[in-house]
């Protein structure tokens, strides 16, 4: 059948008119925010992205990521008795912690054994997790070995006390642990939400270099406090490049982990705010897309500090988030920078080296090995309305996995080979089910347990 030219022309005009109306309709929906269930990750910095009208059921349901690192606690030291607590709540007891018979470590003299014990005091003398000491803890007799024996904790603690005039010259304190009696808030939160028994610090050394990893997935060759500033990409520069809002909350704006990264830190001081601003942002629903809470020295749970005071301090930030309007689309990661020289029974596995840089400051403390091994296990919690209740991960990861989660959510490129190799932590979450949509009512963290340094336990 043959149609005449006038019929075809009318048909085409009608089709064009319909298509034009459809285009106008779609543009109108997008302008009103009704055309997508996702929110944009680019925003004006006053708050996080505006959530879409529907939960997309994937990582894009998360619009705010908050992370905080406390100080110097091993997994066994804090969560070694987690199974006992989980059993009382009817949860699985598959956490790799301290068994009923405990663990032992060779005494300083190498002739006897020192066993695990429960602390009475919530304070204790310093223990050193430095580069040399951590490798000695990994393998007392051969610190350069690739085989971990985890047999040098007591020796290292004793040696530190003998060199610094400390009281515990036998190093007994390295074997102490806490439980839900000391830390009811953490035990509740780790069981209500998610934890991991294979979460490690980034390298076998102390705080400064590990905190560099938490921002840049490398320490640029440093094994201890950097002797000069570092100019490498960080998670913050990645966010800044894409126009994604971020803030760092601290009681000392000029002395945060970001201060090591120059000139970027000097150029972005307007992103650093006091702790009180976090409380305001959480209350008003104006948290940025990504936030970091810098540790406060007296309340960071570092040995010599009162761990209950530190846990209570951390709880104020978590509780503020849970009680605010941003809870519905947020994740709060609470972790520790390193294990503090305190006993843990799991030997750190090999890790992807972040780059080709070898230790540049290891004399006279090395060389031992490079940056291709994780540090010891640390406590970790993933707190979110999306977290699967009672979840326990057994997947090897370190603090740069938090960076990987941020990168995955906001479409950022990896910083180094270390964060690129990490799991992105999505196994913790049920985005569609939102099992913790209604925040729980955790117990208040007490701060009145005995605190002393001159006796054990």
- pLDDT tens column, 142-175: 998 999 999 999 999 999 999 999 999 999 999 9
pLDDT value at 355 more than 70: yes
pLDDT score, position 362? 74
Name 226's Cβ contacts closer than 8 Å, sequence gap at least 6: 208, 209, 212, 219, 220, 260
pLDDT score, position 369? 72
Separation of alpha carbons 191 and 82, rounded Å:
8
Q: How confident is the model at residue 444 (pLDDT cuts 50, 70, 90)?
A: very high
Separation of alpha carbons 377 and 398, rounded Å:
9
Separation of alpha carbons 285 and 180, rounded Å:
32
The residue-averaged pLDDT of 237-242 equals 98
pLDDT score, position 364? 52
- CATH fold for domain 61-76+181-428: Alkaline Phosphatase, subunit A (3.40.720)
Domain positions in the chain are 61-76+181-428
Distance from first CA to last CA of the chain, Å, rounded?
A: 99
pLDDT score, position 410? 98
Q: 163, 157 in Cβ contact below 8 A?
A: no
Name 4's Cβ contacts closer than 8 Å, sequence gap at least 6: none
pLDDT score, position 363? 62
pLDDT value at 46 more than 60: no
pLDDT tens by residue, 288-312: 999 999 999 899 999 999 999 999 9
Mean pLDDT, all residues of the chain:
90
pLDDT score, position 36? 30
pLDDT score, position 365? 52
Of all residues in the chain, the percent with pLDDT exceeding 70 is: 87
Q: How confident is the model at residue 38 (pLDDT cuts 50, 70, 90)?
A: very low
């Amino acid at each position: 059948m043959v149609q005449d030219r006038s019929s075809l022309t009318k048909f085409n005009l009608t089709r064009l008119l319909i298509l034009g109306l459809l285009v106008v309709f779609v543009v109108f929906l997008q302008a009103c925010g009704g055309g997508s269930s996702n929110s944009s990750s680019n925003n004006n910095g006053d708050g996080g992205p505006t959530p879409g009208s529907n939960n997309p059921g994937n990582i894009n349901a998360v619009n705010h990521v908050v992370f905080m690192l406390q100080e110097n606690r091993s997994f066994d030291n804090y969560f070694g008795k987690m199974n006992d607590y989980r059993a009382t709540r009817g949860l699985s007891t598959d956490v790799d912690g301290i068994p009923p018979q405990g663990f032992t470590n060779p005494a300083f003299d190498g002739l006897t054994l020192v066993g695990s014990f429960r602390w009475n005091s919530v304070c204790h003398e310093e223990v050193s997790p430095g580069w040399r000491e951590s490798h000695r803890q990994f393998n007392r007799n051969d610190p350069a070995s690739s085989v971990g024996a985890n047999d040098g904790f007591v020796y290292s603690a004793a040696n530190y006390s003998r060199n610094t005039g400390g009281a515990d010259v036998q190093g007994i304190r390295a074997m102490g642990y806490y439980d839900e009696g000391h830390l009811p808030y953490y035990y509740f939160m780790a069981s209500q939400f998610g934890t991991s028994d294979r979460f490690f610090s980034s390298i076998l050394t102390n705080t400064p270099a590990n905190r560099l990893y938490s921002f840049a997935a490398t320490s640029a060759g440093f094994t201890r406090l950097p002797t000069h500033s570092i100019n490498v990409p960080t998670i913050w520069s990645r966010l800044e490049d894409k126009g994604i809002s971020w803030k760092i909350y601290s009681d000392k704006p000029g002395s945060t982990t970001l201060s090591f990264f120059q000139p970027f830190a000097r150029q972005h001081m307007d992103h650093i705010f006091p702790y009180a601003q976090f409380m305001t942002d959480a209350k008003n629903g104006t948290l940025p897309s990504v936030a970091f809470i810098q540790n406060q020295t007296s309340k960071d749970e570092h040995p010599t500090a009162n761990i209950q005071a530190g846990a209570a301090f951390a709880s104020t930030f978590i509780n503020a988030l849970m009680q605010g309007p941003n809870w519905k689309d947020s994740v709060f990661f609470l972790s520790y920078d390193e294990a503090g020289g305190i006993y843990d029974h799991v030997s750190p596995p090999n890790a992807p080296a972040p780059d080709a840089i070898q230790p540049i400051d290891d004399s006279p403390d090395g060389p031992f090995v490079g940056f291709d091994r994780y540090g010891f296990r640390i406590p970790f919690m993933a707190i979110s309305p999306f977290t699967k209740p009672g979840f326990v991960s057994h997947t090897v990861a370190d603090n740069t996995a938090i960076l990987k989660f941020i990168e995955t959510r906001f479409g950022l490129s990896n910083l180094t080979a270390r964060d690129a190799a990490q799991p992105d932590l999505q196994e913790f979450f049920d985005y569609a089910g939102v099992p913790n949509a209604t925040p729980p009512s955790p117990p208040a963290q007490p701060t009145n347990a005995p605190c002393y340094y001159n006796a054990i336990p």
